[in-house]
Chains A and B, each alone.
Chain A
Amino acid sequence: MSLFLIAALPFLGAVFPALLIRAGRNAASAAAGFTTLLAFTGLLLHAPAVLRGEVIQASVEWLPGLGLNANFFLDGLGFLFAGLILGIGLLIILYARFYLTREDPMGQFYTYLLLFQGAMVGIVLSDNILMLLVFWELTSLSSFLLIGYWKHLPEGRQGALMALAVTGSGGLAMIGGMLILGNIAGSYDLTDILQQKEAIQASPLYLPALILILLGAFTKSAQFPFHFWLPHAMAAPTPASAYLHSATMVKAGLFLMARMWPVLAGTPEWFYIVTTTGLVTMVLGAVIALFKDDLKALLAFSTVSHLGLITMLLGFGTKIAAVAAVFHIINHATFKAALFMSAGIVDHEAHTRDIKRLGGLRHLMPITFTIAVVASLSMAGIPPLNGFLSKEMMLEEAFHTTWLGSHLVIPVLAVVAAIFSAAYSFRYIGHVFLGSKRDDYPTTPHDPPTGLWLAPGFLVVLVVLIGLNSNGVAGPLVSAAANAVIGDELPYYSLKLWHGITPALYMSAVAVIGGLLFFSQHKLLEAVWNALPRPEAKVIFEALINGLARMARSVTDGLHNGSITRYGAIMVLFTTIMGYYAFRTGTLGAPVHDIQAAGPLPIIGWFCLMVATVAVVLKHRNRLLALVLIGVVGLIVSLSFNYLSAPDLALTQISVEVVTIVLMLLALNFMPKETPVETPLPARLRDMGIAAVAGLGSAGLIYALLTRDFVAPSISEFHLANSYKGGGGTNVVNVILVDFRGFDTFGEIIVLGIAALVIYALTEAILGSKVRAYLLNRKPDLPQAGDAHPMMMVVATRVIMPLALLVAAFIFFRGHNEPGGGFIAGLIAAIAVIMQYMASGFGWAAERQRFYYHGIIGCGVLIAAATGMGAWFNGLPFLTSAFGYIQWGPLEEFEWATAALFDVGVFLAVVGAVMLALESLARFAWQPGNDPEHAMDINPARDDADAEVKQEA
């Protein structure tokens, strides 16, 4: 099976549980299980090749320019981790089916679980570090969903947030580190990077890259001082905890360290940072675990401790230590997942996880007891279980390692950690299962249904089998994975129970005896522990986060204080300053154009424009007057377009002007008609200053532009030369719109349609709120005209309607060769319809409306799209136009271009959008009873009918 498919399957499968949950919980879990099984089988098919030492690759170039390629590769290490992720995932899916109750949304759980699984598989199969980073962040996000799965529990939400904050910020640091690493190596592909040990370790940027990458790994793998998030993440449902914290999420950091081991390890920096962190974490986690009364908290801290152990082994930097690390990863995953699940079973059956309330369960839950005992003893390092093997390898390596010149520090601390580790393992057995039966359990526990103990039972069998026959069961896997980590010849090692009388054996013995001693004296030790002052990580973390949040808030509130006026002023000033800076630092050629003389007409127009613009500002408090004045400005602007050889623009501007003014009048109807004086004179003067600066800037810029030539040749010549030859039209502006730049136009009509739909949606929302009652009972605030729908106007608009539509058709058809086209024709047609609304009333017009404007917009966009796609059938790219000429009857030669069909789409979209916008606004005005009784419908029968009614009465 392709590696792409293996990585994609969990993501694809994530859809099904969410959908299938309606078909029942079995269907949802079966879907999740089947997907995982499929991916797992696909992975196992690669097993023979991988175990032979081959590397399987699959790659697709995605953004080669950025070094971002979808490259996957599968070597021994990836195979080990992918196997753990999918294999234990399968067991977790089975376990969760029986663990979650009827009230829990199970579909969601499996969806989150599969998303998480996919992200994890992605990490371990990625060959490209940028892609690895993406998957890395995805695990943070999906684990957030899993940890916070019980949304109603505050601990769940807090734990999820904490995990996301810690692992997310570590991930950010890692992005930095990986980018540096990629930069040093000159490639973002792992296979390339792993070849360049010398170059990377010699680089001056090695240390920063190392620290940043390790920050990512340490936060993810809960290493001191970032270990505190893991116990809080125990608020997750136990299946999620078992999955995240035994086999997957927290192992991602270890995976990364193992993956980067060939290039990063072996330096003193690596040794001291990684070994020390691992050592401290191992000891600290083990000590705290002994004093936790919550079963899951105990396991969480023991996980922290074991992760520290593996980190320390990787930190040693020797090949044999790397082998031990790989072996312990396997062993820890098996016994820890089984332990988490057994803790879940106890919680599920006894309804408490508090060790102080448990004890004597041996009699009530013999199966669970067996599972828990085997797994715990393995964790304690008791032969012949698998935990013993790897722990002894660790002790052996610790014995040979010197730290800052001391031969004692690491071995002694390793034994201390091992003692505590044995002690808390014994406690897990002794205080939960042994002892006499109690009669004060919250509910009387008994062994769970098979489905719940099957998964941990299977893992426990593995624990024993690996212990008894490690070479046969785990040997090939360990050697393949270790080979991938070391990237070189494997050192001599043997996975067996009896190595003879070695220092490690003595250390193991001390650990077990010490553990028994500590366990027996637990009460005493606990009293000492409780008397000691301890910093509470959660409090520190929250203080830190609150401090950061306060800082962010003060910065944000300082800048973003809710005053839009202020934002506007800052933006205008900043833009002007940037422009000024560019002007000062750039080069400006000498003016080459002579100023064209202006005749009397432009001067008159200019004068009107200046007066009208100033008048808008002076009179803006009288809103109606300001609206009239702005209409004058728009009119002169469109006349100027016409004068300056832009007839299309003039036509568009003038028709848009009409629609805009109607729109604003409609809105003004509901708003105050005056603007009060609010700002003091100094504030107004300051605003005038800002405005003057902006005005001077834009005037200066366009003047400088107008008196100079283009710096580079313009592409306009191409359009002029090819408009007729290539596009079949002589109106170059229209040909650009519907042909050369048709794709832009296509986007623009979509935007216009969206704007209209937004307006419609806003209208619906506003009319659906309390505002509707206000609108319905609103009294007009100005005196009303005697007749809302004067007969003169009604008659005039009815007569004009067909004429206006004819003009629109005319403008549309001449568009390709003469000024005109779909945009302008659409606006004219819309104005023709709006006039009916204005003259005869909303109710009258709405009654006669045959097509919804939404549909018209949609039709327009679809027609434009279909025209564009038509080109595909001729093997041409989207929107390639074709044209020809037809002679029909007495008419002049007629051009028929597919571009005209596209223009029909533009036309319809514009009509629909304009009408939908205005109609929405008009709906605000509708009040019951203000429709004219007979809005000028000439219907002679009506009067007769009225008379009949009267007669009958």
Chain B
Amino acid sequence: MELLLASAVGLMTACGVYLILRRRTFPVILGLSLVTYAVNVFLFATGRLAVGAPPVLNKYAEVAYTDPLPQALVLTAIVISFGMTAVVVMIALGAFLSSRSDNINMVEAADGAGDDA
């Protein structure tokens, strides 16, 4: 299962980074979302993987619990990343509406200088 998770994190990161390196705002936002998933899962997984051991205390029996701390951190991270995505979307939209172009690079740079990145 660790392999599955690691490969999923890796693939989401790779695809996210690839999209972030595109030239238009929308794919970049999609890429950011993918990277956000990857990072959240990554952080969550630092508490190690456990099945059927939610960190909800059982008053009647001694059971195993998974690590609650990364979960609490990731929970707020998810909400904050929504806020961040919303701001980025708004900036992208504003830029597109004002300039009628959704290219993320400056005009001079878009002529080729940016391609050497």
Contacts and interface: CB of A to CB of B under 8 A. Distances in A.
Contacts of A627: 30
A639 B90 CA distance: 29
Interface in B37-88: 37-38, 40-42, 44-59, 65-69, 71-72, 74-76, 78-87
A943 to B, nearest CB: 41
B68 A716 contact: yes
Contact of A688 (B18, B55, B78): B18
Contact of B34 (A570, A616, A679, A914): A616
A662 to B, nearest CB: 11
B110 to A, nearest CB: 7
A733 interface: yes
B79 A752 contact: yes
Interface of chain B, main secondary structure: helix
B27 A620 contact: yes
Contact of B4 (A602, A675, A769, A819): A602
A568 B84 CA distance: 17
Given A623-B26, A702-B45, A756 B15 contact: no
A645 B52 contact: yes
Interface residues of B, number: 95
B94 A762 contact: yes
A562 B105 contact: yes
B8 A645 contact: no
Contact of A737 (B76, B102, B116): B76
B102 to A, nearest CB: 6
A679 B8 contact: no
Contacts of A793: none
Contacts of A705: 45-46
Contacts of A524: none
A823 B79 contact: yes
A929 B116 CA distance: 49
A924 B93 contact: yes
A191 to B, nearest CB: 48
B111 to A, nearest CB: 10
Nearest to A641: B44
A910 B82 CA distance: 11
Contacts of A910: 79
Given A649-B74, A656-B82, A921-B90, A692 B27 contact: no
Interface string A875-910: 000000000000000000000000000000000001
Given A569-B117, A634-B37, A675-B22, A744 B76 contact: yes
Interface stretch (A19-27, A275-283, A717-725): A717-725
A454 B104 CA distance: 64
A576 B87 CA distance: 27
Interface stretch (A309-317, A438-446, A507-515, A605-613): A605-613
A565 B104 contact: yes
Contacts of A630: 30, 33-34
A660 B29 CA distance: 11
Contact of B80 (A676, A715, A752, A817): A752
Interface stretch (A286-294, A416-424, A665-673): A665-673
Contacts of B56: 647, 730-732, 817-819
Nearest to A569: B117
A736 B69 contact: yes
A774 interface: yes
Contact of B93 (A566, A595, A649, A921): A921
Nearest to B66: A645
A59 to B, nearest CB: 42
Contacts of B84: 755
A614 interface: yes
A646 B85 contact: no
Interface string A824-842: 0001000000000000000
Interface stretch (A229-237, A465-473, A487-495, A693-701): A693-701
Nearest to A774: B97
Nearest to B117: A566
A680 B114 CA distance: 13
A415 to B, nearest CB: 63
A751 interface: yes
Pick the most buried of A667, A670, A672, A756: most chain B CB atoms within 10 A of its CB: A667
Interface string A105-134: 000000000000000000000000000000
B99 to A, nearest CB: 10
B83 to A, nearest CB: 3
A766 interface: yes
B8 A609 contact: yes
Given A606-B4, A617-B19, A634-B37, A736 B72 contact: yes
B34 A613 contact: yes
A566 B44 CA distance: 30
Interface of A: 561-570, 572, 593, 595-598, 602-603, 606, 609-610, 613-614, 616-617, 620, 623, 626-627, 630, 633-634, 637, 640-641, 643-649, 652-653, 656, 659-660, 663-664, 667-668, 670-672, 675-676, 678-680, 683, 687-688, 690-692, 694-703, 705-707, 714-716, 719-720, 723-724, 730-733, 736-737, 741, 744-745, 748, 751-752, 755-756, 758-759, 762-763, 765-766, 769-771, 774-775, 817-819, 823, 827, 910, 913-914, 917, 920-921, 924
4 shortest A-B CB distances, which residue pairs?
A699-B10, A695-B14, A562-B106, A563-B114
Interface of B: 1-30, 33-34, 37-38, 40-42, 44-59, 65-69, 71-72, 74-76, 78-87, 89-94, 96-98, 102, 104-110, 113-117
9 contacts: A620-B27, A646-B44, A646-B66, A649-B74, A672-B26, A691-B21, A695-B13, A700-B6, A702-B6
Given A633-B37, A671-B93, A699-B10, 8 more contacts: A593-B48, A616-B15, A664-B85, A667-B90, A690-B21, A695-B14, A703-B2, A755-B83
